[in-house]
Amino acid sequence: MTTELRKRHDVNGNTEVTTQDGGKVSLERSIKLIGGISLIVGSMIGSGIFVSPRGVLVATGSVGASILVWTACGIIATCGALCYAELGTMIPKSGGEYAYLKFTFGNIAAYLYAWTVIFVLRTSTIALISLAFADYVAAPFFDDCSSPVLATKLLAAACVLTLVIINCISARLATSIQIIFTAAKLFALGLIIVIGLINMIKGNTDHIDPSVSFKGSETSAFAYGIAFYQGLWAYEGWNQLNYVTEELKKPERNLPLSIIIGIPMVTLFYVMTNLSYLTVMSPEELISSSAVAVTFGQRTLGSWAWIMPLSVMLSTFGAANGACFTTSRVVFAAARGGHMVKSLSMVHMERITPVPALMFMTVIIIIMLIPSEFDTLVNYFSFSAWIWYGATASALIVLRFTAKDLPRPVKVGL
């Protein structure tokens, strides 16, 4: 049973709505600090770290330059997230960029963003991660050849439907799953890093030695632009917590803390993981590998090599769960703001989850899976995403001059 949200009383940022019969239903503040960190880390660590190292290395031309790009991507993501932390605590509404653009630039900007994010950005992200998940699930059954396209897409669709059911049942269940899968993927990356450190101690540092690691570096700005596209895809998810601000306990404290803890943690893991790969493989071997983590596992874990594909499956499933959770809140917020069909702003009275928004989102994702391929979806996503990230960051600057008196529990330096 669902009920339509009739009126919002945004005192102190709490979501409080009246139903047709005068009752009140709200999205519950159930996400604590650990859940917030897990949502950020779990959303960021998906397929990127297992796919992007090759792309970054190819574009930069050297190990040293690629490591600098990975570090710079982490700094960019942290700066962007800190801007979002100020916006999120100043405008404590779910919906992320949608809420901030609407508050700053009005309905037209919010309308354009809502439709772009729902039909291009977030749904293509979930489709991408689900396809990566399906590839690794299908791989063991097709040892001598690539898995059939139909099988991969059916597995991706099954992944999406499973996650939507989980998110319909309970927000607490979804965040609990996020914490569990975040722990699993951190264990996997931790294993790669520990093996890498052991190899470094043994002296297997020929490819990461600073004296030779910058040889062959690209000098073209265009090449580094491509490298940043690849690297920033791996960091995608740094803004996820802003989509669920209304469900975060003590957002003025837990939002910035989750960002300050979560994103530098991911940056450290990514840099160390890349260095670890290169203690086992040469740059040429890394570039030629279609599944870097699997190759790493085969060379270091022996009969335990199956841990790597399993880890990728866990990682992508957790990332897709986080994306499903947050994307449904954008649909919910856009419908509540009058920019989509109002029935999508309904909340299940018992489950307290935005079931219509989740169902609507699922249809779009399944449609995207029918004709799509991984590289096409990455380009489809990246072009649009960074336009809107820039527009949202500009909203922060505009509000410094047009809304000087708004409370700012978090304030970043321009």
Tokens of 205: 């540092």
98-112 confidence digits (pLDDT tens): 889 989 999 899 889
Q: Could you give the CA distance from residue 40 to residue 239 in angstroms, rounded to a whole number?
A: 7
Q: Give residue 121's pLDDT.
A: 82
Q: Could you give the CA distance from residue 97 to residue 391 in angstroms, rounded to a whole number?
A: 9
Q: Could you give the CA distance from residue 92 to residue 27 in angstroms, rounded to a whole number?
A: 13
Q: Could you give the CA distance from residue 359 to residue 164 in angstroms, rounded to a whole number?
A: 7
SS (H, E, C) the chain: CEEECCCECCHHHCCCEECCCCCEECCCCCECHHHHHHHHHHHHCCCHHHHHHHHHHHHHCCHHHHHHHHHHHHHHHHHHHHHHHHHHHHCCCCCCHHHHHHHHHCHHHHHHHHHHHHHHHHHHHHHHHHHHHHHHHHHHHCCCCCCCHHHHHHHHHHHHHHHHHHHHHCHHHHHHHHHHHHHHHHHHHHHHHHHHHHHHHCCCCCCCCCCCCCCCCCCCHHHHHHHHHHHHHHHCCCCHHHHHHHHECCHHHHHHHHHHHHHHHHHHHHHHHHHHHHHHCCHHHHHHCCCHHHHHHHHHCHHHCCHHHHHHHHHHHHHHHHHHHHHHHHHHHHHHCCCCCHHHHEEECCCCCCHHHHHHHHHHHHHHHCCCCHHHHHHHHHHHHHHHHHHHHHHHHHHHHHCCCCCCCCCCCC
Q: Give residue 72's pLDDT.
A: 94
Q: Is the pLDDT of residue 124 over 90?
A: no
Would you give the DSSP letter of residue 117?
I
Backbone angles phi, psi at 4, to 5 degrees: -80, 140
The class level of CATH for 32-95+102-393 reads mainly alpha
Q: Give residue 6's pLDDT.
A: 43
Q: Could you give the CA distance from residue 193 to residue 273 in angstroms, rounded to a whole number?
A: 5
- Residue % of the chain over a pLDDT of 90: 14
Q: Give residue 89's pLDDT.
A: 82
Q: Which of 192, 157, 177 is nearest to 272 (CA)?
A: 192
Distance of CA 36 to the CA centre of its chain: 13
Q: Is the pLDDT of residue 290 over 70?
A: no
Q: Which of 280, 304, 310 is nearest to 292 (CA)?
A: 280
Mean pLDDT, range 310-317, rounded to an integer: 81
Q: Is the pLDDT of residue 283 over 70?
A: yes
Question: Residue 12: which pLDDT band, with cuts at 50, 70 and 90?
Answer: very low
Q: Give residue 19's pLDDT.
A: 45
E strands present in 312-386: 346-348
Check if the beta carbon of residue 251 is closer than 8 Å to that of residue 89: yes
Q: Is the pLDDT of residue 20 over 70?
A: no
The residues spanned by each domain of the chain are: 32-95+102-393
Tokens of 32: 């604590």
pTM: 0.77
Distance of CA 335 to the CA centre of its chain: 23
Distance of CA 229 to the CA centre of its chain: 15
Burial class (CB in 10 A: 0-12, 13-18, 19+), 414: exposed
- Work out the mean pLDDT of the chain and round it to a whole number: 81
205-225 confidence digits (pLDDT tens): 888 888 888 888 888 888 888
Q: Please compute Rg for the chain using Cα positions.
A: 21
Check if the beta carbon of residue 9 is closer than 8 Å to that of residue 149: no
Q: Give residue 14's pLDDT.
A: 41
Q: Give residue 322's pLDDT.
A: 78
Q: Is the pLDDT of residue 254 over 60?
A: yes
Tokens of 216: 């062959």
Look at 40 and 52; give whichever has higher pLDDT.
40
Q: Give residue 350's pLDDT.
A: 72
Mean pLDDT, range 285-300, rounded to an integer: 81
Q: Could you give the CA distance from residue 104 to residue 112 in angstroms, rounded to a whole number?
A: 14
Tokens 């960091």, located at residue: 235
Check if the beta carbon of residue 139 is closer than 8 Å to that of residue 309: yes
